[in-house]
Homo-oligomer: A and B are copies of this chain.
Amino acid sequence: MSLEESFAKLCVEPQSDATVVKALVFKPKTPKSATPVPIVVVALLSTTTPSPLIASATSTKDPRLARDDLFKDVFNCSTAKEFHLGHLAQANSEFKLLVDDKLSKLAGSTICNVNQKFLQQEQLSDYLEQFSPEVVDFSQELPSKETKKPAPVAAAKSAALEDAKLIGITVDKALDFSGWYQQILTKGEMLDYYDVSGCYILRPASYAIWEVIQRWFDDRIKSLGVQNAYFPMFVSSRVLEKEKDHIEGFAPEVAWVTRAGSSELEEPIAIRPTSETVMYPYYAKWVQSYRDLPIKLNQWNSVVRWEFKHPQPFLRTREFLWQEGHTAHLAEEDAKEEVLQILDFYAGVYEELLAVPVVKGRKTEKEKFAGGDFTTTCEGYIPQTGRGIQGATSHHLGQNFSKMFNISVENPQGPEFPKVFAYQNSWGLSTRVIGVMVMIHSDNKGLVIPPRVSQYQCVVLPVGITAKTSDEQRIAIHQAAKKVEDRLHTAKIRVFGDYNDNYTPGWKFAQYELKGVPLRIELGPKDMSNEQVTVVRRNDSRKYTVKLNELETRIPEILEEMQKDLFLKAKELFDTHRKIVNEWKDFVPSLNKKNVILSPWCGVMECEEDIKDSSAKKDNGEEFEADDKSPSMGAKSLCIPFEQPELKEGQKCVKCDRPAIQYCMFGRSY
């Protein structure tokens, strides 16, 4: 029996007092190359369904009533006029469903579809439920276009169906990446928007990831002799402005405290954008002899950079959490060795914990940390936008700051030799890493979180309980499931069970997929009699059957396999989108195919600027996403990778006539 037939079976006799319902189909505006996902709106005939509200609820642009060809293509229905709800069951591609919240308030009524199919309200609701509807309050105010905050994800109000708020992601990652990113973070309960623009709430699901990263990184830097400390968040303007090159980079973004209670402060006080100038006057004080070196301090704190560009959760926020390490060494080579050790740890956070591949390298003079000698970096890649993203940076400051702040010691060779200024490093990794991880692994069902960092690694669910299940049997299944949970807990797996009978397993599956729990462990009557559980991976729904007596060995293995597979998949995407381009004519076309580019380069700053300008035009008229900082963004240098393609004899720069001295990685970027 087809779904449409089953729909037909639901229909009842025509009734004169039936409430009439309309079913409208919209097509959103999408880039030419993309396939639009239709939006079906089911609402009372009396309800107005304004296009901006539909756009907001689905995070799409300009939805318009669909033409007949779409009805044909998607619903096997020859014209818009013939379309009725039964057609939903035979759709041959994806669509989104919005349901008027007034519909849910008609319990007990008969509903009349515009095409004269009559149903009971409950049956209609049940029928629609399979298409993961989003319930929308169409009577709400239209979102204002002037609103400065990102469009609220939950323009769709969920009051009517109590659990509708938990129903999945309504935006396609491939079509509206920025809308998808917003939804996935908020519906996945990682983050919430906050009433101060550019600031976000890190909810337990994301903070727990940060805690795993903290523990991992902290253990490693402590093994290098780094100690944690805490310096004040405030810095006087005199100290802040001491290193000129450095402050020039930060000055436009510094937040100033000018008032306390009702008193104006005598002198405004800055909130640290980073702590070089906060810490180094004290390094100068504490370092009296070469025996006081090296000094290696790190702090886990938050810093404030009041950027005026469009903020984005995790990636560009006005306050963010990070660690900042600041070390001072007697010997230049010790400092330089450390810079790379730390960079390896940063790459480890990405690759080993977050399953995100990165390319390590050095920043160009243009892109390096202001005031330092050189900056090393690990760079990631976001496939959907084809943009590079700076992962974390480790700077060698040379003696620039130590000379400015007089961090110096008597020469160990004796007082007749000149005094030695310390060689310094600073290095930082922020909660940005979580945003990169989400962008790379998650999908249209919700978050996908790598097992090593996920707050919970497994959820245990009793399944197969129906109306026919005896109480005894139900209890036995629950108890067996709880035992699985307890055993995994004892085996140090981060696990929880959900034994709530008020929700169907299907609803729960969707919920934990949304939240990105790596493994779902199902236990039903069949599993019980076979002494097994059924395990489903979040990332690809791959199923495993695990015998109960192998629980403690197999689950960790499956978690590690998933971790590895996530990394390999992401790595393949990065590797296949990192193109060697030797001639300028191929540069922009390759960039426009969402690649980052490795090109032979002369190393001259003006040429780098020229590359950026020349790649900024909309060369092929392609539309960019709404979240681009600029729709015509040019390619920046991302890094000069440590791992270099071989440079041919006499190879010229990709852009100018000068000889190339190395390959540089260029890309549009965050």
Cβ-neighbour of A259 out of B228, B256, B304 (below 8 A): B256
Q: Let me know if A319 and B232 touch, CB within 8 A.
A: yes
Query: Is A195 positioned at the interface, with any CB of B under 8 Å from its CB?
Result: yes
Beyond A255-B257, A259-B268, A288-B165, whether A208 also contacts B228 by CB under 8 A is yes
> In chain A between 216 and 272, which residues have their CB closer than 8 angstroms to a CB of chain B?
227-236, 239, 251-263, 268-269, 271
Beyond A230-B321, A233-B302, A288-B162, whether A261 also contacts B257 by CB under 8 A is no
Q: How far is the CB of A298 from chain B (nearest CB, A)?
A: 10
Cβ-neighbour of A202 out of B211, B230, B253, B263 (below 8 A): B230
CA of A306 to CA of B232, assembled, Å = 13
Residues of B within 8 A of A271 (CB): 257, 271
Q: Let me know if A227 and B199 touch, CB within 8 A.
A: no
Q: Let me know if A297 and B232 touch, CB within 8 A.
A: no
Q: How large is the interface on A (under 10, 10 to 19, 20 to 34, 35 or more residues)?
A: 35 or more
> In chain A between 180 and 236, which residues have their CB closer than 8 angstroms to a CB of chain B?
192, 194-196, 199-204, 207-208, 210-211, 227-236
10 example contacts (A-B, Cβ-Cβ < 8 A) are as follows A158-B288, A162-B288, A192-B282, A201-B230, A207-B230, A208-B228, A252-B262, A254-B261, A256-B258, A258-B258
Query: Is A281 positioned at the interface, with any CB of B under 8 Å from its CB?
Result: yes
Q: Let me know if A228 and B204 touch, CB within 8 A.
A: yes
Query: Is A289 positioned at the interface, with any CB of B under 8 Å from its CB?
Result: yes
- Nearest chain-B residue to A410 (Cβ)? B162
Given contacts A204-B228, A204-B297, A255-B257, 8 further A-B contacts (CB under 8 A): A196-B235, A196-B236, A199-B232, A201-B232, A202-B230, A207-B228, A256-B259, A271-B271
Q: Let me know if B256 and A260 touch, CB within 8 A.
A: yes
> Could you tell me which A residues sit within 8 Å of B by CB distance?
158, 162, 165, 192, 194-196, 199-204, 207-208, 210-211, 227-236, 239, 251-263, 268-269, 271, 281-282, 285-286, 288-289, 291, 297, 301-302, 304, 306, 308, 318-319, 321, 500
Beyond A162-B289, A253-B260, whether A204 also contacts B227 by CB under 8 A is yes
Residues of B within 8 A of A254 (CB): 260-261
Cβ-neighbour of A201 out of B208, B229, B268, B288 (below 8 A): B229
Cβ-neighbour of A261 out of B196, B208, B253, B269 (below 8 A): B253
Q: Let me know if B261 and A251 touch, CB within 8 A.
A: yes
CA of A258 to CA of B286, assembled, Å = 34
Residues of B within 8 A of A208 (CB): 227-228
Q: How far is the CB of A50 from chain B (nearest CB, A)?
A: 24
Q: Let me know if B258 and A259 touch, CB within 8 A.
A: yes
- Nearest chain-B residue to A431 (Cβ)? B230
Q: Let me know if B195 and A319 touch, CB within 8 A.
A: no
Q: Let me know if A281 and B195 touch, CB within 8 A.
A: yes
Q: How far is the CB of A210 from chain B (nearest CB, A)?
A: 8
6 smallest CB-CB distances across A and B, nearest first, come from A260-B306, A204-B227, A199-B232, A252-B261, A202-B230, A256-B259
Beyond A236-B195, A269-B196, A281-B195, whether A201 also contacts B231 by CB under 8 A is yes
Q: How far is the CB of A380 from chain B (nearest CB, A)?
A: 23
CA of A252 to CA of B260, assembled, Å = 7
Q: How far is the CB of A296 from chain B (nearest CB, A)?
A: 10
Q: How far is the CB of A310 from chain B (nearest CB, A)?
A: 16
Residues of B within 8 A of A257 (CB): 255-258, 271
CA of A207 to CA of B301, assembled, Å = 13
Residues of B within 8 A of A200 (CB): 232
Residues of B within 8 A of A282 (CB): 192, 201
CA of A208 to CA of B306, assembled, Å = 31
Q: How far is the CB of A405 from chain B (nearest CB, A)?
A: 13
- Nearest chain-B residue to A268 (Cβ)? B259
Q: Let me know if B260 and A255 touch, CB within 8 A.
A: yes
Residues of B within 8 A of A301 (CB): 302
- Nearest chain-B residue to A261 (Cβ)? B252
Q: Let me know if B229 and A204 touch, CB within 8 A.
A: yes
Residues of B within 8 A of A231 (CB): 194, 201-202
- Nearest chain-B residue to A232 (Cβ)? B199
Q: How far is the CB of A546 from chain B (nearest CB, A)?
A: 28
Max chain B Cβ within 10 angstroms of own Cβ: one of A165, A199, A257, A288? A257
CA of A161 to CA of B200, assembled, Å = 52
Q: How far is the CB of A287 from chain B (nearest CB, A)?
A: 12
Residues of B within 8 A of A260 (CB): 253-256, 306, 308
Residues of B within 8 A of A258 (CB): 256-259
CA of A562 to CA of B513, assembled, Å = 52
CA of A203 to CA of B253, assembled, Å = 28
Residues of B within 8 A of A165 (CB): 288
Q: How far is the CB of A292 from chain B (nearest CB, A)?
A: 10
CA of A306 to CA of B257, assembled, Å = 11
CA of A235 to CA of B199, assembled, Å = 10
CA of A486 to CA of B318, assembled, Å = 46
CA of A230 to CA of B302, assembled, Å = 10
Cβ-neighbour of A232 out of B194, B203, B228, B281 (below 8 A): B194
Residues of B within 8 A of A196 (CB): 232, 234-236, 269
Beyond A196-B269, A261-B306, whether A229 also contacts B203 by CB under 8 A is yes
CA of A63 to CA of B297, assembled, Å = 40
Residues of B within 8 A of A162 (CB): 288-289
Q: Let me know if B228 and A211 touch, CB within 8 A.
A: yes
Q: How far is the CB of A486 from chain B (nearest CB, A)?
A: 15
CA of A269 to CA of B201, assembled, Å = 17
Q: Let me know if A207 and B229 touch, CB within 8 A.
A: yes
CA of A212 to CA of B368, assembled, Å = 37
CA of A196 to CA of B194, assembled, Å = 30
Q: How far is the CB of A123 from chain B (nearest CB, A)?
A: 24
